[in-house]
Amino acid sequence: MTSTTTTTVTTTAASAPPATPLRIGLTGGIGSGKSTVAALLAGLGAAVIDTDAISRELTAPGGAALPAIAARFGPEAIGADGALDRAWMRQRVFADAAARQQLEGILHPMIGAEVQRRSAAAGAAPRVFDVPLLAESLHWRERVQRILVVDCSEETQVQRVMQRSQWSEDTVRRVIAQQAPRARRRAIADAVIHNDGLSLEALALEVETLWRGWCPAA
Ligand SMILES: CC(C)(COP(=O)(O)OP(=O)(O)OC[C@H]1O[C@@H](n2cnc3c(N)ncnc32)[C@H](O)[C@@H]1O)[C@@H](O)C(=O)NCCC(=O)NCCS
Ligand SMILES: Nc1ncnc2c1ncn2[C@@H]1O[C@H](COP(=O)(O)OP(=O)(O)OP(=O)(O)O)[C@@H](O)[C@H]1O
């Protein structure tokens, strides 16, 4: 049976609530369970700001990023529905690091601006920033006060994404190869949720325990 403990690497005094809402960075490799954890945190009262979701909005029909993407990658990057052709772009950028960096160069500044806007409008609730590439970004690490990493084995990542998104094993492994290794993510964590062999009920309990420790006043 795989270990299912939450490892709190550092803890911070629970008594004095921070003057400004706590900013938590939530990260993990593809398919680790970030969105599942983010939904649980939202249910507990967090203001979740999801960078994947913002990225999808920027590339939906009429999205602000589409002109720059079409100019850089050509009209074939845009599908018949007027949105980014995600399957086309996925094959392109996860096979070619330079192309991925070019796409990131267009999207990341726009995502960052929208994150700021949403965070400013989020009121008093603790913020949870769901950022797949947090370990890769010093910018992000400097902007959060706690880092929560959702971790699981690469085999579990592959199985989950193949099942959830009907991607080929090869595609999932190519995405994993373009992301920070698990050890690098764990090294920056204030807490790690080991989301392997864990029921959704047990996961919810771990998330709630962590939330009560970090945000006792929320
Ligand atoms: C390549 C794209 C079109 C693929 O879209 P698709 O719908 O298939 O996947 P989706 O956006 O849901 O992302 C799924 C997962 O892929 C991984 N992923 C996405 N972008 C990246 C990236 N640039 N580098 C490494 N992994 C990534 C993350 O784990 C993410 O959770 C899309 O991911 C994209 O536009 N990526 C660039 C923007 C980006 O860096 N997003 C990450 C959040 S800031
Ligand atoms: N403990 C668990 N038990 C069962 N299924 C799980 C568990 N954790 C996550 N899953 C499932 O695994 C899949 C991937 O989880 P999720 O979408 O939360 O991952 P993610 O890290 O947000 O992925 P991505 O990086 O692709 O956005 C989903 O179908 C989710 O329901």
Q: What is the ipTM of this complex?
A: 0.97
Does 52 reside within a domain?
no
pTM over 0.80: yes
Whether 186 shows a pLDDT value over 70: the answer reads yes
Ligand 2 centroid from CA 128, angstroms: 17
pLDDT at 113: 97
Is residue 75 exposed (0-12), middle (13-18) or buried (19+ Cβ within 10 Å)? exposed
Ligand 1 centroid from CA 149, angstroms: 17
Range with the poorest average pLDDT among 15-24, 167-176, 189-198: 15-24
Arithmetic mean of pLDDT, 96-103? 96
Are 195 and 137 in the same domain? yes
Q: Of 106, 124, 142, at which residue does a domain stop?
A: 124
Task: State yes or no: 79 annotated in a binding site.
Answer: no
Are 40 and 142 in the same domain? yes
Look at residue 112 and give its three-state secondary structure: helix
- Domain tally for the chain? 2
Q: Of 124, 142, 162, at which residue does a domain stop?
A: 124
Q: Are 22 and 215 in contact (CB under 8 A)?
A: yes
Does 51 reside within a domain?
no
Question: Does residue 103's CB lie within 6 angstroms of at least one atom of ligand 1?
Answer: yes
Question: Does residue 52's CB lie within 6 angstroms of at least one atom of ligand 1?
Answer: yes
Whether 18 shows a pLDDT value over 60: the answer reads no
Question: Does residue 178's CB lie within 6 angstroms of at least one atom of ligand 1?
Answer: yes
Please work out, in degrees rounded to the nearest 5, the angle formed at the alpha carbon of residue 139 by the alpha carbons of 88 and 144.
110
Task: State yes or no: 36 annotated in a binding site.
Answer: yes
73: Cβ–Cβ under 8 A, 6 or more apart, which residues?
89, 92, 99, 102, 103
Look at residue 189 and give its three-state secondary structure: coil
Question: Does residue 36's CB lie within 6 angstroms of at least one atom of ligand 2?
Answer: yes
Helices 51-58 and 97-120, axial angle in degrees (round to 10):
110
Are 37 and 132 in the same domain? yes
Q: Are 130 and 38 in contact (CB under 8 A)?
A: yes
Ligand 1 centroid from CA 30, angstroms: 9
Are 113 and 142 in the same domain? no
pLDDT at 130: 98
Arithmetic mean of pLDDT, 39-43? 98
Q: Please give the DSSP secondary-structure letter assigned to residue 78.
A: B
Nearest CA to ligand 2 atom 25: 30
Domain with 110 in it: 57-124
Q: Which of 101, 173, 161, 171 is nearest to 137 (CA)?
A: 101
